[in-house]
Amino acid sequence: MLGEAPYIVVEGPIAVGKTTLARILAREFGAEEALDPAGRNPFLLSFYSDPARWALAAQLSFLRLRRAQQAQIAARATENGRLAPPVVSDYLLAKDEIFARLTLEESEFTLYRELAGELAKNDKREHRRPDLVVYLEASSDVLQTRLRRRNRDFERNLSPKYLRSLSEAYRTYFHSYEDAPLLVVNSTAIDFLGNGDERVDLIREIRSARRGVQHYIPLGSR
């Protein structure tokens, strides 16, 4: 069972519904939103227009932005010894390396790992451990449909092959995830915004989450 002031993280591949669900949960738990600061990356648009040239710069900027935000979350959790505030985030810091493996050349990835390791070694602050990670899955076809629906200019060139690779990378990562309680949700047929019954049922499942790995079965599949 989640405590009074949980730290909940929603993760999954592009267009799976992370931010939508995170915002719903933040309202439900009266929590702060800690949304991925990726939109503040000054290299993002350049990366999408010319990935080979801008991948390393974009990835290092992602790393810097995300580590800074995670440090802020940790600082608020220990400030003056008070109870940590409830927080809902739409990313894990670990996602940074998932994307780096897919986008960087081998030599660039080696440099990225070295720099990431140095940052981690020099940062003596403990990052806040999630009380629950909600991992959203969906088929590649569904992800592609949702990408088209949200119609963001810089995402139009993402190929089905890239989305399949990204989905597989997430599945591989969470297959052995043990850092926090994990709830796996297949969101292929779930409408968080339009179907109130599904939303209420999933929130009930999240509130009652226990240790270890659990799999949520959507209402329509029971």
Query: DSSP for 45-98?
Result: HHHHH-HHHHHHHHHHHHHHHHHHHHHHHHHHHHGGGPPPPPEEES--TTHHHH
Q: Is 31 helix (H, G, I), strand (E, B) or coil?
A: coil
Alpha-carbon Rg for the chain, nearest whole angstrom, is 17
The number of distinct structural domains making up the chain is 1
In-domain check, residue 2: no
* pLDDT computed for residue 148 by the predictor: 83
In-domain check, residue 108: yes
Least confident of 34-38, 100-104, 192-196: 192-196
Q: First-to-last CA distance in the chain?
A: 23
Question: pLDDT band at residue 220, thresholds of 50, 70 and 90?
Answer: low
Please tell me the pTM assigned to this model: 0.91
- Could you tell me how far CA 175 lies from the centroid of its own chain? 15
In-domain check, residue 71: yes
Q: Averaged over 115-136, what is the pLDDT?
A: 86
* pLDDT computed for residue 137 by the predictor: 93
Checking if the pLDDT of 78 tops 90, the result is no
Range of the domain at 28: 7-221
Q: Please tell me which residue, 77 or 24, carries the higher pLDDT value.
A: 24
- pLDDT, one tens digit per residue, over 89-100 is 999 999 999 999
Q: Averaged over 137-164, what is the pLDDT?
A: 82
* pLDDT computed for residue 195 by the predictor: 66
CA 205-172-178 angle, to 5 degrees, is 55
Identify the top-confidence range among 48-52, 55-59, 215-219.
55-59
Q: Averaged over 170-196, what is the pLDDT?
A: 87
In-domain check, residue 207: yes
Euclidean distance between CA atoms 161 and 159, whole angstroms: 5
Contacts of 105-111 with C-beta under 8 Å, sequence gap 24+, read 105/55, 108/55, 108/56, 108/59, 111/56
* pLDDT computed for residue 76 by the predictor: 76
In-domain check, residue 1: no
Checking if the pLDDT of 119 tops 90, the result is no
In-domain check, residue 210: yes
Euclidean distance between CA atoms 92 and 65, whole angstroms: 12
Q: Is 32 helix (H, G, I), strand (E, B) or coil?
A: strand
Euclidean distance between CA atoms 140 and 155, whole angstroms: 15
In-domain check, residue 65: yes
The CATH code of the domain that includes 55 is 3.40.50.300
- pLDDT, one tens digit per residue, over 20-52 is 999 999 999 999 999 999 999 999 989 988 989
In-domain check, residue 184: yes
* pLDDT computed for residue 82 by the predictor: 58
**C-alpha torsion angle, residues 11, 15, 19, 20 (rounded to 10):** -120
